[in-house]
Structure formats: structure tokens, C-alpha cells
Amino acid sequence: MKYEPVIGLEVHLQLKTKTKAFCGCSTLFGQRPNSQSCPVCLGLPGSLPKLNHEAFGHSIKVALALHCSVQKEIKFDRKNYYYPDLPKNFQISQYDKPVAHDGFVDISSCGKIKKIRIKRVHLEEDAGKLIHQTGGPYSLFDCNRAGMPLLEIVTEPDINSPEEAYDYLTGLKSILKYLEVSDCDMEKGSLRCDANISVRPAGSDKLGSKVELKNMNSFKAVRLALEHEVSRQMEAVSAGEKLQQETRLWDAGKAVTLLMRTKEEAHDYRYFPEPDLVPFVPDPSYVEDIRKTIPEMPDAKAKRFKERFNLSDYDIAVLVSDKAAADYFEKCLESYDNPKTVANWIMGDITAQSNLKNTGIRELGISPQGLAELLKMIDGQLISGKMAKEVLLEAIEKRCEPAQIVRSKGLEQLSDKGELEKIVKVILGRNEKSVQDYKGGKKNALTFIIGQVMRETKGKANPAVINEILKKSLGE
């Protein structure tokens, strides 16, 4: 019998806000442990949570971009469980009335477009962090992360291969980055992903016992963990074993999934309405105002680029994958109308520098106009292409515009015909013997004369222009 995997993904996104989800504590990353907590974070008696307006706005923005319906009445609930990283013993989350539901993301996988349905988007708070001491008899607790706003984005089980899961995550991350609601940095934990996976006989519409996979800290790890889990489950069902509902952890070192616990059900969490936050109805005009702030999404941008610019699908995909690079590209074209050249420079030298410095394109300090100026100098034969690359590197190092480097170093090529003609005349007058040699058939005498012109102009003379003048002067 043939089996197929059925996969659903849960993405946890840390929202970029100044303060936490339900209190005024700062969300700055990497601060001294426990320096960002208050009675609300700790759930002390008498403290009251208050919903962060910015976090809620970000949630609506994501929901709308994922084509979800915003819930008519929004309600928060307490999810009760005991764990040492959760001082309150409950997490403020959403149970039956999440921020939004029933959306979709179109993903491009194996050259085809596939619709992945979004089941729900809900807002909750993060837990604190335990720092385990290797070999030590204790663990340390950092409360700074407790109460950070998290958005959970849950798909329907529409994903049928580890490859599709990877493509969904890549597409979703690109959308989320465009919305500028999170830094989507998996290393800092601001984007996390859990997967639900089961296998069933191909063509069946029944779902098998699902296994929840955790502890995957990159999209590649998600793909590897799913690949491993698909074969583990397929082997088991092929051998007639019955799988049970459970949670497994991905062990990246050993490249296997390990049993963590048998699965708990929703009723184990004793959800009940959060008594300190009243349900509320978002004003439709508020929602519409947020809709207006959603920028052009990556797929729409790719379509527009394809219609407008004569670029390959590969170039477009690379440019569009980074909103800052795509914006930079279009800004540069306003002053220099050659899309392919601009794309090559952005995807080549500029991306290489931003990768090297591990920074965004905007942070390199070269304005799109500055790059346009540099490209114009190459076209106008003021500098050579090779020189331009060196100028760009120096401009990035010195944090100034490329034109400033060219001017301060006097790098401009000398291409003025009238001026060069005068210089050539002087050189020819000084080197009559070489001129006679050349006319007598010694072709390499010309190389000597060109060398003399270059010396006279300190190497700045444009070789193409000198050649043209010399050939004319020497009667060719």
C-alpha cells in the first residue's frame, strides 16, 4: 500500500513592539536577565494586564495579508499549565475566538502554485526562558521573554511533503518581512515552527494519529525532521504498527526525532476566559485603516517586475525575496534606467557586501542615487567598470557616496577628445623616431606612444579615445 504524509504547521512569530503584550516592560533583546519584568509579567496578586495596541494592530495586519476573516468579537483566554518558565502558571492566549480565521497562502512548490489554507491566527504571550546548566544541579530562569507578544499562525493539514513545508515557510517569512511586524530572526527565536504530521493510505481522506514535532530551529531543520518522521511513520504503519498521538523532539545532532511526551488534549489546559481582559469588537474602520498600510506583497511585486522589466524569473525572485533590495532596485532605476545592470550590481557586489557585513542593503550606507551615479560614470567612460567596483567597496568602508571617492581621488578618466588631441600632439612631437618606426611598419612602436600618453595623463586617459586619435593622426 502507498502512503502519503499529511502535514500542518504552527508558526510562532514574535511581534516587533516597543513593549510586551500586556504590560509596559521593554521588549529589547539581549538585556540583563530579569531586568525587564514587572508584577504583570510575574502574575502577582492585584496586577492587571492591558492589551498592547501595537501588538494587536500587527496581528490584524498579518491576518489581512493572509486573507483571513477578522473575528467579530475578540476574546482572550487563560491556558493553564505548570512549568518552571511560566511564573503565572497560565498563559494569556486565545481559544475559541482568535484574532482571525480561514485565510490562505499561495505557495510556489515544484513549479506549481498551491493554496495552503490558514486555519487561525491568534495572539498570545511568550513564556520566560530556562537556561539549563550543563551538568549542574540547577537551571537559571530569565523572565525577560515572559509576556512578549507572539502571533500563532496555524495551517490546515494541506501540506503533503517536507519540501512543501519548506516552501510554505519561506513564502510565509517573505510575507511577514514585507509587513515589517517582526524581525523574523530564527536565531533570536523570533520565528519558531512546530509541525503536526501523520501518514495515511494515499487518496484516503481520513487523518492518521498525528505526531507533533518540536525543537527545529531553522527551515532546513524543519525539512530534515519531517523527512525523518515521514519515513519513521511509514515504516511503522507498513509493518502493521499502530502509531500514537505524541510530541517528539528533533535532535539535530543525531538527526532523529525522540519521544518527548504523549500528546495532551485541549481540555488538559482547562481553558477559561481571561477575567481581566474583556471581550471586544474591533471597529470595522480601524481594520480598514490597517488594510491600507499593507504594502504590495511579494507575489504581486514579482508579477509587476515581470511585466515591466526585461529580467529573468531568477533575477526577479532574488530581488523580490528581500523587500529592502526590491525597493532599492526601483529607487535606483528612477535615476538610471537600465534594470539589468542595476539588478546585476545589487545581486552581485552589493549583496556580497551585505552578506559579509551581515547587514541589510540600506545599512550599507550607499543610497540608490549614489549607485545610479556610479553606473552613469561607467557609461560615460569617466571610470572603468573595474575601478567602479573598487570605488564601491571604499565608499562602503568610508560610509560615503561613491561619487565622493571618485572626486576626492581624481579618478575620473580623461575622455575629453579636444584635450587628449592636444596631449597626443605634444607626445608625437617629442617622439618623432617612434612615429617614423611605426610608419615604417614597426607596429609595436604604437604601444610605446600610447604608454607615453598614459604617463603624461597619470594613467587617466581613456584608452579607446587615445587609440582613435592616434590612428587618425598617424594616417590610418
Give the residues lining the site for Zn ion (CB under 5 A). 23, 25, 38, 40-41
Q: By C-beta, is 125 or 330 nearer to Zn ion?
A: 125
Give 38 or 403: the residue with its C-beta nearer to Zn ion: 38
Give the integer Cα–Cα distance in Å for 242 and 235. Answer: 11
Distances (CA, A) of 105 to 102, 116, 297, 347, 403: 11, 5, 11, 27, 44
Cα 310 off chain centre by: 24
CB of 295 to Zn ion, least distance (A): 31
Are 420 and 450 a contacting pair, CB within 8 Å? no
DSSP letters spanning 381-439: TSS-HHHHHHHHHHHHHHTS-HHHHHHHHT---B--HHHHHHHHHHHHHHTHHHHHHHH
Please state, in angstroms and rounded to a whole number, the distance separating the CA atoms of residues 319 and 347: 8
Nearer to Zn ion, 23 or 127 (CB): 23
Q: What Cα–Cα distance (Å) separates residue 414 from each residue in 248, 460, 463?
A: 69, 5, 9
Which H or E run includes 292?
A: helix 284-292
**In the complex, least distance from residue 147 CB atom to Zn ion, rounded to whole angstroms:** 5
At position 70, the amino acid (one-letter code) is: V
Task: Give 126 or 167: the residue with its C-beta nearer to Zn ion.
Answer: 126
Q: How far is the CB of 44 from Zn ion (least distance, A)?
A: 10
Closer by beta carbon to Zn ion, 40 or else 224: 40
In the complex, least distance from residue 75 CB atom to Zn ion, rounded to whole angstroms: 22
Smallest separation, CB 146 to Zn ion (Å): 8
What stretches of 124-182 show up as alpha helix (H) in DSSP? Answer: 162-179
**26 or 467, CB closer to Zn ion?**
26
What is the rounded CA–CA span in Å between residue 444 and residue 422?
A: 22
CB of 229 to Zn ion, least distance (A): 37
Give the CA radius of gyration of the chain.
Answer: 31
**Cα 424 to the center of its chain, rounded Å:** 54
Measured CA to CA, the distance from residue 227 to residue 460 in angstroms comes to: 60
- In the complex, least distance from residue 36 CB atom to Zn ion, rounded to whole angstroms: 7
Strands 246-251 vs 211-216: parallel, antiparallel or unpaired: parallel
Q: Which is nearer to Zn ion, 102 or 276 (CB)?
A: 276
Shortest distance in whole angstroms from residue 270 CB to Zn ion:
24
All cell numbers assigned to 61: 495586519
Question: Which residue type is seen at 326?
Answer: A
Nearer to Zn ion (CB atom), residue 41 or residue 159? 41
One-letter amino acid at 111 equals G
Q: How far is the CB of 47 from Zn ion (least distance, A)?
A: 9
Could you tell me the three cell numbers for 357?
Answer: 557585513
Decide whether 35 or 293 has the Cβ nearer to Zn ion: 35
Residue 60 CA to residue 277 CA, distance in Å, equals 18
CB hemisphere CA count around 55 (13 angstroms): 27
Distance CA 33, CA 37 (A): 9
Between 103 and 128, whose beta carbon lies closer to Zn ion?
Answer: 128
State in angstroms the smallest separation of the CB of 49 from Zn ion: 9
